């Protein structure tokens, strides 16, 4: 299967699934490899026969949808964003919650992969934010992903060393125990995170949040109209005055007037 054949195929089928080619350009080889494997698995010979198979077996769209799922993540991915969370956003939310006599600050990590993003937040909170304030207020993190195998891995909290290359070493040492060649998250940080298998296109977690992280998913891979629709649904879960964080290469679609930019990749929800 030539690269150009696979590109043509993706350009045709991604929009059918609600995705956009722009987000897949860089990761297409990974997706094409999976499609090639699937074609062989079905006993087919080429993309032409796979197209026909898709037309005759509507349920195959679901399989193709899962073949297009990109699952790359790292602890402390995009340092500049986590630095602003650590130094500005999280301490501000903690102090505001204490002033308002809240029992906790709530955060949602949407598309959490194997837990790298929500555990990074739990680590930041316990090792950097809490020592700077007087009250031991918890950060309660809800982390969702559509892929059940990732949710299972996230719950176990066991990682190979390579996934920490962006994280400050002293945090890794404090938050993980090394056993053989892997790193196990300590119970103290695990208990702050609740993992749920949820597809953001159809489900939202319960309750409202002071902080939502939607990074490297909706605004990279979804088509523009689905981006806007998903953003509006996510906004029903963000408290007024709460913060919304995107990935470093993402921008939110035009046509919304709920979020005010607050520096790169950070937005504040209007309070009026
Ligand atoms: C590229 S990873 C990004 C992970 C993390 N947010 C980060 O920035 O490092 C995208 C994640 O979103 C998940 N995902 C993809 N489509 C989803 C959907 N419709 N609903 C929920 N999660 C989804 C994938 O399984 C994957 O774990």
pLDDT tens column, 13-61 = 999 999 999 999 999 999 999 999 999 999 999 999 999 999 999 999 9
Which has the higher per-residue pLDDT, 254 or 28?
Answer: 28
Q: Which residues line ligand 1 (CB under 6 A)?
A: 69-73, 77, 111, 113, 116-117, 144-147, 150, 199-201, 215-217, 247
Structure confidence at residue 193 (pLDDT): 98
Shared domain for 58 and 85, answered yes or no, is: no
- Answer whether residue 168 shows pLDDT above 80: yes
Shared domain for 265 and 164, answered yes or no, is: yes
Measure the CA–CA gap between 257 and 125, rounded to whole angstroms: 30
CA of 199 to the centre of ligand 1 (A): 9
Mean per-residue pLDDT, 150-157 = 98
Nearest CA to ligand 1 atom 11: 111
Nearest CA to ligand 1 atom 3: 216
Shared domain for 28 and 83, answered yes or no, is: no
Q: What is the CATH number of the domain that holds 131?
A: 3.40.50.150
pLDDT tens column, 92-143 = 999 999 999 999 999 999 999 999 999 999 999 999 999 999 889 999 999 9
Nearest CA to ligand 1 atom 14: 111
Contacts 24+ apart (CB under 8 A), 181-190: 182/158, 183/158, 183/159, 184/157, 184/158, 185/115, 185/119, 185/157, 185/158, 185/159, 188/126, 189/119, 189/122, 189/123, 189/126, 190/119, 190/122, 190/157
Overall size of the chain counted in residues: 272
pTM of the predicted protein model: 0.96
Band of pLDDT at residue 255, cut at 50, 70 and 90:
confident
Shared domain for 177 and 144, answered yes or no, is: yes
CA of 216 to the centre of ligand 1 (A): 7
- Answer whether residue 272 shows pLDDT above 80: no
Which ligand 1 atom sits nearest the alpha carbon of residue 77? 9
Q: How many domains does the chain have?
A: 2
Structure confidence at residue 256 (pLDDT): 85
CA of 69 to the centre of ligand 1 (A): 8
Task: Report the b/e string of 91-126 with b at 16+ CB within 10 A.
Answer: bebbbebeeeeeeebbbbbbbbbbbbbbbbbbbbbb
């Amino acid at each position: 299967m030539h690269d150009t054949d696979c590109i043509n195929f993706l350009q045709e089928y991604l929009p059918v699934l609600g995705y956009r080619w722009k987000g897949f350009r860089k990761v297409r080889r990974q997706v094409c490899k999976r499609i090639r494997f699937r074609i062989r698995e079905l006993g087919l010979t080429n993309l032409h026969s796979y197209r026909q198979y898709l037309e005759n077996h509507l349920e195959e769209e679901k399989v193709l949808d899962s073949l297009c799922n990109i699952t790359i993540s790292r602890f402390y991915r995009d340092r500049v964003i986590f630095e602003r969370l650590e130094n500005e956003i999280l301490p501000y939310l903690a102090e505001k919650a204490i002033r308002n006599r809240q029992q906790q600050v709530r955060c949602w990590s949407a598309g959490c992969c194997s837990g790298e993003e929500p555990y990074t937040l739990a680590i930041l909170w316990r090792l950097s934010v809490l020592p700077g304030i007087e009250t031991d207020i918890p950060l309660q993190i809800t982390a969702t992903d559509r892929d059940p195998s990732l949710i299972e891995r996230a719950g176990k909290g066991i990682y190979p060393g390579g996934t920490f290359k962006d994280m400050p070493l002293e945090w890794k040492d404090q938050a993980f125990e090394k056993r053989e060649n892997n790193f196990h998250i300590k119970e103290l940080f695990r208990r702050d995170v609740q993992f749920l298998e949820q597809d953001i296109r159809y489900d939202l977690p319960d309750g409202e949040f002071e902080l939502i992280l939607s990074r490297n998913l909706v605004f990279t891979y979804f088509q523009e109209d689905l981006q806007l629709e998903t953003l509006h649904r996510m906004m029903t879960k963000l408290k007024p005055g709460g913060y919304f964080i995107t990935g470093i290469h993402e921008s939110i679609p035009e046509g919304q007037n709920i979020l005010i930019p607050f520096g790169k990749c950070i937005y504040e929800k209007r309070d009026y």
